[in-house]
Copies of this chain bind each other. A is one copy, B any other.
Amino acid sequence: MLRARGDRDLRFGIVVNEGPYTHQASDSAYRFARAALEKGHEILRVFFYHDGVNNGTRFTVPPQDDRNLQRQWSELAEAHKLDLVVCIAAAQRRGILDANEAKRQGKDGDNIAPGFRISGLGQLIEAGIQADRLVVFGD
């Protein structure tokens, strides 16, 4: 799967706007990301917005015979050093917290999954500026 990047290799930004399972958006984005990496492109960032932030909770326990979307993303991030960013404003509305946010908001626990980080909307704009293509997956 590893090859040198060539002239036509681009930097992609990916936006995931829906949570896991309810909509296919996260599955489609994951498969697009894998295909892009296999072709030697770079994934600059995956930005989780709207309900997309719900991909980043480690509390999910999908049925044994189904895929675990959070784990798929975490493993892809680990293998390819992907930057998985969960939007902080969207996450606050929907109950996705890291240890830092939990402390700041006075919550008694957190649920962020490995490989995901919480940051601001500026990271989405920055991805738009730095990436050659931004691809949005949603409902």
Contacts and interface: CB of A to CB of B under 8 A. Distances in A.
Nearest to A18: B22
Contacts of A102: 59
For this chain, the copies found in one complex come to 2
Interface residues of A, number: 30
A96 B62 contact: no
A57 interface: yes
Contacts of A58: 95, 107
Contacts of A111: 59, 95, 109, 111
A59 B97 contact: yes
Nearest to A56: B95
Contact of A59 (B20, B21, B70, B95): B95
